[in-house]
Amino acid sequence: MQFYSCVVCLLLAALSSAEQTDLTSNLSEDASAVQLKEIQQQLVQLNNKLNTLSTQIANLLDTKNDQSCDRKTAITDCGEASGKESGIFPLRICTEPTFNVYCNQSFEGGGWMVIYNRIDGRNGIFNQTWESYKHGFGEPNGEHFIGLDRLHAITYGSSYEIAFLLTVDGEEQFGIYDHFEVDNEWENYPIRRIGSARGSMRLFRDNNELHRFQTYDRNNLHPLARDAMFKQECAFWFVDMPHMYSISFEEFCANLRRLKIMIRRRPNAI
Ligand SMILES: *[C@@H]1O[C@H](CO)[C@@H](O)[C@H](O)[C@H]1NC(C)=O
Ligand SMILES: *[C@@H]1O[C@H](CO)[C@@H](O)[C@H](O)[C@H]1NC(C)=O
Ligand SMILES: *[C@@H]1O[C@H](CO)[C@@H](O)[C@H](O)[C@H]1NC(C)=O
């Protein structure tokens, strides 16, 4: 009897413990179910967020594509237009709006940007003030100057070479300097460094004299030199010479009337 009661006791204990485990397991099942539901809800929310984000990204990419469509051919250097024909390309420096430059892809391997071009001498186009030379003038498919501000922005701290092409008696002669860098307006846009030259023509002596930009209305030159600049419509990088003047200065000025200048970013430059 005692044995049976004991068995009943055990059974009850087993049952109750079974019930308990059942309960707890039901409890934890419920908890997992709740958690699962929560997780599912979170997943749905995340999924929605992802969808929204990818829509936003797609929209952004679309507008960006639109922008690059507007400026399809915008370049930062004529080297980027290599392989293409010579011609006019919109150039972008920093955050400024683009402006057109002429890229010459046939001279010495191409990649040259024309920064100064004079063809038929005296016509008043180059008879300009400091302010004009600062901002540039003319059209890239004709006679023009790119402007000192842009030259500074393009070349300063970068690695550019420069080609001077002078037409003498219908023959074109050239001199290429392997470094060209223009400093800021505060310093009068001096050529900070001109490299060593190759080619048949020299515009600068191979030394470290500082050539600052000089116009008829802003210069540090002898009065006779100033007159010559006026007469020859010239403005250029000259060594300061307030105390002396030579006839070769006027000859130099006169030569600028048939000059073309191009710059090219050197390979492996930034
Ligand atoms: C425990 O779970 C079982 C099946 O999973 C169910 O039939 C039972 O009703 C649940 N018990 C309680 C107390 O929720
Ligand atoms: C490129 O420049 C060179 C040198 O001035 C010139 O002979 C040539 O005609 C130019 N090419 C083009 C396509 O402008
Ligand atoms: C250059 O411009 C100045 C100022 O406008 C003018 O007085 C002068 O006659 C011009 N010179 C030439 C050669 O056109």
Q: What is the pLDDT of residues 68-121, one digit of tens each?
A: 433 446 788 888 876 678 888 888 887 678 899 999 999 999 999 999 999 876
Report if residue 23 sits inside a domain. no
User: Which ligand has its closest atom nearest to the C-alpha of 108?
Assistant: 2
Residues 85 and 190 in one domain: yes
Q: Is the pLDDT of residue 9 over 80?
A: no
Instruction: Using the mean position of ligand 3's atoms as its centre, give its distance from the Cα of residue 44 in Å.
Output: 76
Distance CA 101, CA 75 (A): 10
Q: Is the pLDDT of residue 67 over 50?
A: no
Residues 118 and 196 in one domain: yes
Residues 243 and 119 in one domain: yes
pLDDT at 26: 59
Ligand 2 close to Cβ of residue 165 (< 6 A): yes
CA distance readout (Å), 266 to 110, 144, 155, 178, 251: 12, 23, 11, 8, 32
pTM of the predicted structure, to 2 decimals: 0.69
Residues 137 and 159 in one domain: yes
Report if residue 270 sits inside a domain. no
Report if residue 60 sits inside a domain. yes
25-39, 53-67, 108-122, 125-139: lowest mean pLDDT where?
53-67
Residues 169 and 102 in one domain: yes
pLDDT confidence tier of residue 209, bands split at 50, 70 and 90: confident
Report if residue 130 sits inside a domain. yes
- The tokens describing 30, both together, are 């419920």
How many domains in the chain?
A: 2
Q: Is the pLDDT of residue 60 over 80?
A: no
Instruction: Give the mean pLDDT of the chain.
Output: 83
> Is 215 strand, coil or helix?
strand
Which position has the higher pLDDT, 268 or 240? 240
pLDDT at 182: 95
pLDDT at 187: 92
Residues 211 and 241 in one domain: yes
- Phi–psi pair at 117, nearest 5 degrees: -145, 120
Residues 225 and 93 in one domain: yes
Instruction: Tell me the average pLDDT across 211-230.
Output: 93
Residues 37 and 95 in one domain: no
- Residue 147 maps to which CATH number? 3.90.215.10
Q: Is the pLDDT of residue 13 over 60?
A: no
Residues 40 and 123 in one domain: no
Using a 6 Å CB cutoff, which residues line ligand 3?
124, 127, 230, 233
Instruction: Using the mean position of ligand 2's atoms as its centre, give its distance from the Cα of residue 238 in Å.
Output: 26
Instruction: Using the mean position of ligand 3's atoms as its centre, give its distance from the Cα of residue 230 in Å.
Output: 7
Instruction: Using the mean position of ligand 3's atoms as its centre, give its distance from the Cα of residue 231 in Å.
Output: 8
Amino acid at 165: L
Domain range for 169 = 78-265
Instruction: Tell me the average pLDDT across 197-225.
Output: 88
Which position has the higher pLDDT, 241 or 121? 241
Report if residue 119 sits inside a domain. yes
Residues 139 and 238 in one domain: yes
Distance CA 258, CA 264 (A): 20
pLDDT at 130: 97
182-191, 199-208, 231-240: lowest mean pLDDT where?
199-208
Give me the sign of the Cα torsion angle 9, 14, 20, 22: negative
Ligand 2 close to Cβ of residue 211 (< 6 A): no
Residues 213 and 133 in one domain: yes
